[in-house]
Amino acid sequence: MSQIRQVIILFSICLLGTVHGQGSFRPPSIPAIIAILRYQNSPCTTDSNTPGTCLAQNDCLTRQGTPDGTCASGFASCCNFKFTCGGRTKENETIFVNHLYPKTDNGTNTCQVTIDKQPNVCQLRLDFEEFSLAQPDENGQCTTDSFMVRTTVGERLPILCGDNNAQHLYVDMGRGSANPVVLSVVTNGDMIGRKWKVKINMIPCNNLDMAPSGCMQYFRSPSAVVQSFNYGLPMEGRARYLSNLRYTACVRVEENFCSIKWETETLGSFSWGAPFEGNLTARGASGGLCNVDDFVGIDQGSAEGSGPGEDRLCGTKLLQDDYVISRSKPFQLKVRSNSDQKLNAENSQHGKHNIETLNNVQ
Ligand SMILES: [Ca+2]
């Protein structure tokens, strides 16, 4: 079979040589033949910066792909099999993009793809390499645009919108279930151009890469930046973060590490729920004071890293010095927001942005 394909590729190249050579037949050089035979069907990167397959141009078109850049030292096409609206896959590392990617899409549309479950796959990891949808409304809800994950097992995942570049999600696929996971992006109106590029990784059951149960986000390095969805600069009269959130971000506990320090990257990069204290010298609130609105949960959190600490933090600062130390394992950050964003919007709250570092404290 592969020999037949090689013959077809060589024939295609000869034909192209004839056309471009304006009638004078120029056989491909020996290095060209070697390059084509060596690289055909191998992975390449398209000009759109997505994974492609190296094929002779005619072969790419026959297989419903789009030639998008070159490979095999320029003798063949990097064939782009774009996975977009209406697609269905069971392949690892598939990349879901908007219809016109790398250009933006606008208008009203529903774009849906289906990921079939393989028997040995238990989780998906979705990496938002690019993600730009309309901002949430004044209630913090994704009413203009929304990104949804539908699954029949595990926790319900939040509906997302706004800017979420570099964010990720873990999706539970269950062990026995054969039900697929459906990703859908619903957009409304022509106000903005939308763009997304979501890498879909399939994680085998019992694999070390699996996120612990209940962790919708999982950070596996000793230091990482943990942002709320749609984190960004404050917007006057709008809350950037989403309402109705209930999820947990987890950090892997490294060997011999006893505590975790959650620290804001810059002063004022934490603003989550009442009280709305504009004075940065003021203390952030904790404990029962946070029950009235949105909060983040860190078990046994305190500035000293000792004692019972607090498990709920809120306001415009993390405790008194914008950091919290916790010795409670596993290392988790629970994120909660209610359905009422009126006061959050009036105070232009923008979310949370933490750098976490681990301390090797005995
Ligand atoms: Ca709220």
115-157: pLDDT as tens digits: 999 999 999 999 999 999 999 998 999 999 999 999 988 778 9
On whether residue 30 sits in a domain, the answer given is: yes
CATH number of the CATH domain containing 264: 2.60.120.290
On whether residue 344 sits in a domain, the answer given is: yes
Instruction: Judge contact between 223 and 191, C-beta under 8 A.
Output: no
* Parent domain of 119: 88-204
Q: In this structure, which residues have their CB less than 5 angstroms from ion ligand 1?
A: 293-294, 338, 340, 344
What SS3 class is residue 251? strand
Q: Are residues 355 and 229 in the same domain?
A: yes
* Final residue in a domain of this structure, among 204, 232, 255: 204
Give long-range contacts, CB 8 A cutoff, 24+ apart: 99-104: 101/48, 101/50, 101/195, 101/196, 101/197, 102/48, 102/49, 102/195, 103/193, 103/195, 104/132, 104/193, 104/194, 104/195
On whether residue 24 sits in a domain, the answer given is: yes
On whether residue 118 sits in a domain, the answer given is: yes
Q: Separation of 12 CA from ligand 1 center, angstroms?
A: 62
Q: Are residues 59 and 111 in the same domain?
A: no
pLDDT tens digits, 146-158: 999 999 887 789 9
Tell me which of 144 and 265 has the higher pLDDT: 144
Q: Are residues 269 and 227 in the same domain?
A: yes
181, containing H or E segment = strand 181-187
Q: Half-sphere exposure of residue 339, counting CA atoms within 13 Å on the CB side?
A: 0
Please indicate, yes or no, whether the overall pTM of this predicted structure exceeds 0.85: no
Instruction: Judge contact between 50 and 97, C-beta under 8 A.
Output: yes
Q: Separation of 271 CA from ligand 1 center, angstroms?
A: 11
- Above pLDDT 90, what percent of the chain? 57
Q: Separation of 2 CA from ligand 1 center, angstroms?
A: 61
Say if strands 43-45 and 51-55 run parallel, antiparallel, or are unpaired. Answer: antiparallel
* Final residue in a domain of this structure, among 152, 173, 204: 204
**DSSP secondary structure of 254-294:** -TT--EEEEEESSTT-EEBSS-----TTSPPEEGGGGGGS-
Whether the link from the prior residue into 212 is cis, omega within 30° of 0, is: no
Q: Are residues 76 and 101 in the same domain?
A: no
Q: Separation of 296 CA from ligand 1 center, angstroms?
A: 12
Q: Are residues 73 and 152 in the same domain?
A: no
| Separation CA 261–CA 313 (nearest Å) | 14
On whether residue 302 sits in a domain, the answer given is: yes
On whether residue 210 sits in a domain, the answer given is: no
* Final residue in a domain of this structure, among 80, 106, 125: 80
Q: Are residues 70 and 160 in the same domain?
A: no
Q: Separation of 11 CA from ligand 1 center, angstroms?
A: 65
Q: Are residues 250 and 185 in the same domain?
A: no
Q: Separation of 243 CA from ligand 1 center, angstroms?
A: 6
Say if strands 121-132 and 195-204 run parallel, antiparallel, or are unpaired. Answer: antiparallel
The amino acid that residue 230 corresponds to is: N
Q: Are residues 114 and 73 in the same domain?
A: no
Domain count along the chain: 3
On whether residue 164 sits in a domain, the answer given is: yes
Q: Separation of 272 CA from ligand 1 center, angstroms?
A: 8
Q: Are residues 225 and 292 in the same domain?
A: yes
Tell me which of 244 and 354 has the higher pLDDT: 244
On whether residue 198 sits in a domain, the answer given is: yes
pLDDT tens digits, 212-227: 999 999 999 888 899 9
Q: Separation of 294 CA from ligand 1 center, angstroms?
A: 5
